[in-house]
Amino acid sequence: MNDDIGQHIDEMIRQEDSGTRPSGQEAFDDLEPDQIALLLESLPLDAREHAWFQVPVESRADVLVAMRAEPRDSLLRLFDSEALDQLTSSLDAESLIELADSLPDEVVDIALARMDQRQRHYYEQSASYEDTQVGRYVDHELLILPHNSRVRDATRLLRRTVPEHTGHLWLINRTGHLAGAVPVTRLFSAREAQPLSELIDDEIEALNAGLDLKEATDRFELAAVPALPVVTDEGILLGRMTQSLALETLHEHYEAQLMATAGLDEEEDLFAPVMRSSRRRATWLGINLLTAFLASWAIGLFEGTLEQVVALAVLMPVVASMGGIAGSQTLTLIIRGLALGQITTSNVMPLLKKELSVGGLNGVLWAIVIGIVASIWFNSAAIGLVIGLAIVINIAAAALSGVLIPVLLERLKIDPALSGSVILTTVTDVVGFVAFLGLGTLVLL
Amino acid sequence: MNDDIGQHIDEMIRQEDSGTRPSGQEAFDDLEPDQIALLLESLPLDAREHAWFQVPVESRADVLVAMRAEPRDSLLRLFDSEALDQLTSSLDAESLIELADSLPDEVVDIALARMDQRQRHYYEQSASYEDTQVGRYVDHELLILPHNSRVRDATRLLRRTVPEHTGHLWLINRTGHLAGAVPVTRLFSAREAQPLSELIDDEIEALNAGLDLKEATDRFELAAVPALPVVTDEGILLGRMTQSLALETLHEHYEAQLMATAGLDEEEDLFAPVMRSSRRRATWLGINLLTAFLASWAIGLFEGTLEQVVALAVLMPVVASMGGIAGSQTLTLIIRGLALGQITTSNVMPLLKKELSVGGLNGVLWAIVIGIVASIWFNSAAIGLVIGLAIVINIAAAALSGVLIPVLLERLKIDPALSGSVILTTVTDVVGFVAFLGLGTLVLL
């Protein structure tokens, strides 16, 4: 897959550079909408614009749905009213809900007005859930039967067009409540007149539409079924969530986590306009600057000491960096544990004890190594002693913070993956500098 | 799911603390093997050991298979020869291949000797693939028919026990080559005597058994089917890969990436013994120490300057840290792009240009802010000028390294997620210190 895309990217950029613009729309015949979306996201803005007009008109809505919000917006800005008009005429409820935030309100209204009543109803239902909730992404293409149907009713229904991922038929009672799921494969060994209610798969547990999308993917890892039914609080069947959506959700979740560690948004455009990109990144740099100034302030407390023993200034990064690294190891382990639901009030203490022991051992080990190197470098056993002690203190503080910071953030409902690392580094910088320069003041002056 | 596990964790630790040990094995009746595995991983070693003996004997093999390698090994060490004997008697080829690395060779041999010929054949087939390849994890429970079968043959087969995830029947020719996939749902609208070859779903593309597991999950995101067939280079059908495995693979892949950023292994035990854990983390700290000493060495070049202008020592962390943060933003964006296959030879230059522009803008912005703060703090416009210039240089160097380091690592077949960040920080530290202290020497002395 990736190689295909790579070749297309090179081809598009070559066209752009040479100024040749094929007028046809065959360029992407071999690609799925998801792949075209990825390809467009990989192109600089000019080339992206020209590539867009080579996307077959009938795939455009699907391609836009598959794109990340920001690069998608870069394309929607190119739409004149005629193009918007064409787009809205081809959207169903599920596509519109994905694009709604990127479209002007009046365009959404036009699209809604053009839908049939059922699609409009689906749209309003989905829109009543947050974009982190299962209910927003309900798939309405499923085969539903009254709960008192028989096998022959099911086989008759299955003779018509069958939606993708159809592994189950869904039974509802007269009030629309989910009454059970019947695996299609069970129909073969059943009698024509047998009630479907006798073929229900008891292991299918419905997802509440208010459930967090990420938690829903965990259910799929356990359940191993192509789709799960989605119901309201009252148990009314809204539709289903497919395992494919679970896969996509998991992908986006982790990508967002990796991006968040650098203060970036998952929807960020690889080729975002320079001004926009700069403005957004400036915030993260600004937050970091505050913590860096805090570290500087800690150092500033010991200006007098530094003036007399310049070796301390030279060795400062070693103390801060060993604390930062040791702390981020503990932090990462704890963040994973929290994400998996492995960490509870009762095992935080044993964990803290273990991490402090590991930190203690590594602290002593590296304190000896660094102490010896520093003693030789600056020809002073006292400097070796000072940095050794500072390393032990800072690595212990790092282990303590590595456990406690994410646990506290989680309790305050702040995502530790987002801010844990910034807070931790601030702690290890300040503790490291104060310990090192403080001890230096006591021992060396 | 997570809440359930949390309660069990607390209960198990309470039992351990109070010394009460229920002898029964009902404790985990409401949990799936995957959940029991997670629960065991969440317990300190003593409590884990006692909880293990409450796991129903018939679930133990599945629980071990579901566990991460390291906590699993902590349990296997408790097995006496009788327990190992019991375990091996209940393993099929797919479970044995998962456990083989954790078991002594002679135990694997015994387990193999006990299997029937078909399972042994499956084992040897799987073992001939690497643990990153699809072939190793082939699922052999699937419904296979000769390519010239008719609909009535299929319905007859489906009347027997049907494996989970059965969305397709697989057709093979006389030599065992995959001849097509027939969706079960298409059987309903077909005639009894119709050849299955007329019902083949053309969109199912087989996975080569040598394919990388992560790349296979990408195929699932595109294909949206419950299972894909796995074939040898010659096209012989080995079995299938399920979408559930894709979900699990994706989960593990990203977890490994997040752990790797802190030099940790995905298989790491939350409660690893202190000695082992310390030894492993020491390596990462050692690597980091070398880079920290490199930074110290760079500072050491300017000892004379630092002695005369101690303000430079105070402000050093600001320069290094702004470069590190700006660089890691670029790095993270590029690593994502590389993982998605978005970055090719033809768009590296436009990307570099964009990142340098973003870096330039932010460099100038923050250089002004930091310059003003530093001028006021140390009452010296010259210091403000020096740090401002150093910030511009370091953020530009960060943007350059943030693009080039991961692209080069990828070309050298080194995972940029693993080592990109260490190398980048070393560059921004050294460039930052040399620029800042070098300019300080020129301007301030």
Would you say residue A334 has pLDDT above 80?
Answer: yes
Partners of A188 on chain B (C-beta within 8 Å) are 155, 158-159, 162
Average pLDDT over residues A359-364: 96
Distance (Å, whole) CA A372 – CA A388: 9
CA–CA–CA angle A50, A55, A58 (5° rounding): 145
Partners of B42 on chain A (C-beta within 8 Å) are 337, 340, 342-344, 347
Distance (Å, whole) CA B303 – CA B50: 59
The domain boundary residue, chosen from A192, A226, A260: A260
Are B60 and B165 part of one and the same domain? Answer: no
Can you say whether residue B341 is alpha, beta or left, with left for phi > 0 and alpha for psi between -120 and 50 degrees? left
Closest C-alpha to B166, from B190, B182, B189: B182
Check CB contact under 8 Å for A164 and B224.
yes
Residue A302 near residue A441 (C-beta atoms within 8 A): yes
| Locus of tokens 């592994």 | A167
Are B421 and B289 part of one and the same domain? Answer: yes
Distance from the Cα of A265 to chain B's closest Cα (Å) equals 10
Residue B182 near residue B199 (C-beta atoms within 8 A): yes
Give the model's pLDDT for residue A418: 84
Would you say residue A1 has pLDDT above 90?
Answer: no
Are A160 and A288 part of one and the same domain? Answer: no
Are A99 and A178 part of one and the same domain? Answer: no
Average pLDDT over residues A362-374: 97
The domain boundary residue, chosen from B88, B103, B131: B131
Q: How far is CA B443 from CA A263, B319, B385, B436, in A?
A: 35, 17, 9, 10
Check CB contact under 8 Å for A42 and B226.
no
Distance (Å, whole) CA B120 – CA A367: 53
Nearest to A281 among B258, B262, B362 (CB): B362
* Helix (H) / strand (E) containing B230: strand B227-231
The number of C-beta contacts closer than 8 angstroms across A and B is 369
Query: If you measure CA to CA, which chain B residue comes closest to A304?
Result: B310
Q: Which of A18-27, A286-295, B76-85 has the lowest mean pLDDT?
A: A18-27
Residue A269 lies in a domain: no
Distance from the Cα of B98 to chain A's closest Cα (Å) equals 18
Give the model's pLDDT for residue B27: 75
Give the model's pLDDT for residue B224: 77
Nearest to B282 among A167, A344, A362 (CB): A362
Most confident of A238-242, B15-19, B260-264: A238-242
Q: Which of A419-423, B79-83, B286-290 has the lowest mean pLDDT?
A: B79-83
DSSP B206: P
Would you say residue A226 has pLDDT above 90?
Answer: no
Would you say residue A201 has pLDDT above 50?
Answer: yes
Give the model's pLDDT for residue A162: 85
Residue B118 near residue B94 (C-beta atoms within 8 A): no
Distance (Å, whole) CA B269 – CA B381: 53
Are B316 and B419 part of one and the same domain? Answer: yes
Closest C-alpha to A318, from B320, B275, B322, B281: B320
Task: Give B319-354 pLDDT, tens digit per residue.
Answer: 999 999 999 999 999 999 999 899 999 999 999 999
Check CB contact under 8 Å for A42 and B184.
no
Tell me if residue B390 falls in helix, strand or coil. Answer: helix
- If one compares B413 and B224, the residue with the highest pLDDT of the two is B413
Find the domain containing B221 and state its range. 144-243
Domain harbouring B236, CATH code: 3.10.580.10
Residue A265 lies in a domain: no
Tally of domains in chain B = 3
Residue A139 lies in a domain: no
Would you say residue B1 has pLDDT above 50?
Answer: no
Q: Which of A4-13, A237-246, A313-322, B197-206 has the lowest mean pLDDT?
A: A4-13
Residue B58 lies in a domain: yes
Are B56 and B94 part of one and the same domain? Answer: yes
Residue B249 lies in a domain: no
Check CB contact under 8 Å for A306 and B310.
yes
Residue A51 near residue A12 (C-beta atoms within 8 A): yes
Residue B283 lies in a domain: yes
Burial class from Cβ neighbours inside 10 Å (0-12, 13-18, 19+) for residue A393 reads: buried
Are A356 and A231 part of one and the same domain? Answer: no
Check CB contact under 8 Å for B247 and A248.
no
Are A211 and A352 part of one and the same domain? Answer: no
Distance from the Cα of A438 to chain B's closest Cα (Å) equals 14
Give the model's pLDDT for residue B24: 58
Check CB contact under 8 Å for A5 and B341.
yes
Domain harbouring A329, CATH code: 1.10.357.20
Check CB contact under 8 Å for B288 and A321.
yes
Distance from the Cα of A104 to chain B's closest Cα (Å) equals 29
Closest C-alpha to A188, from B156, B146, B145: B156
Average pLDDT over residues B351-358: 96
Give the model's pLDDT for residue B26: 67
Give the model's pLDDT for residue A163: 86
Check CB contact under 8 Å for A14 and B346.
yes
Tokens matching residue B329: 């933003």
Task: Name the percent of chain B lying above pLDDT 70.
Answer: 98
State how beta strands B168-172 and B178-183 pair: antiparallel
Beta strands across the sheet bearing A144-146: A144-146, A168-172, A178-183
Distance from the Cα of A321 to chain B's closest Cα (Å) equals 7
Residue B369 lies in a domain: yes
Are A157 and A290 part of one and the same domain? Answer: no
Residue B314 near residue B322 (C-beta atoms within 8 A): no
Check CB contact under 8 Å for B331 and A270.
no
Helical spans, DSSP H, in A151-212: 151-158
Residue A394 near residue A428 (C-beta atoms within 8 A): yes
- If one compares A208 and A88, the residue with the highest pLDDT of the two is A208
Distance from the Cα of A348 to chain B's closest Cα (Å) equals 10
Helical spans, DSSP H, in B159-309: 213-223, 243-260, 274-300, 303-308
Check CB contact under 8 Å for A278 and B362.
yes
Average pLDDT over residues B384-390: 98
Residue B342 lies in a domain: yes
Would you say residue B3 has pLDDT above 70?
Answer: no
| Locus of tokens 């590594």 | A362
- Length of chain A equals 445
- If one compares A266 and B312, the residue with the highest pLDDT of the two is B312
Partners of B328 on chain A (C-beta within 8 Å) are 262
Residue B271 near residue B45 (C-beta atoms within 8 A): yes
Check CB contact under 8 Å for B350 and A320.
no
Are B344 and B430 part of one and the same domain? Answer: yes
Residue B122 near residue B114 (C-beta atoms within 8 A): no
Partners of B282 on chain A (C-beta within 8 Å) are 362, 365-366
The CB density around residue A27, as the number of other CB atoms within 10 Å, is 18
Would you say residue A364 has pLDDT above 70?
Answer: yes
Are A155 and A110 part of one and the same domain? Answer: no
Check CB contact under 8 Å for A258 and B258.
yes
Give backbone dihedrals phi and psi of B301, rounded to 5 degrees, phi first.
-60, -20
- If one compares B5 and A383, the residue with the highest pLDDT of the two is A383
Distance from the Cα of A189 to chain B's closest Cα (Å) equals 4
Check CB contact under 8 Å for A218 and B2.
yes
Check CB contact under 8 Å for A336 and B188.
no
Domain harbouring A33, CATH code: 1.25.60.10
Partners of A215 on chain B (C-beta within 8 Å) are 1-2
Average pLDDT over residues A231-239: 96
Check CB contact under 8 Å for A318 and B289.
yes
The domain boundary residue, chosen from B131, B156, B190: B131
Give backbone dihedrals phi and psi of A329, rounded to 5 degrees, phi first.
-65, -50
Nearest to B257 among A258, A286, A296 (CB): A258
Average pLDDT over residues A227-251: 94
Distance (Å, whole) CA A41 – CA A71: 6
Would you say residue A16 has pLDDT above 90?
Answer: no
Distance (Å, whole) CA B155 – CA B199: 14
Give the model's pLDDT for residue B222: 80
Distance from the Cα of A123 to chain B's closest Cα (Å) equals 23
Are A243 and A197 part of one and the same domain? Answer: yes
Give the model's pLDDT for residue B19: 82
Distance from the Cα of B327 to chain A's closest Cα (Å) equals 9
Distance (Å, whole) CA B24 – CA B31: 15
Average pLDDT over residues A92-114: 91
Partners of A346 on chain B (C-beta within 8 Å) are 9-10, 13-14
Task: Give B86-138 pLDDT, tens digit per residue.
Answer: 888 888 899 999 999 889 998 999 999 999 999 999 999 999 999 999 999 99
Partners of A226 on chain B (C-beta within 8 Å) are 165, 167, 226, 243
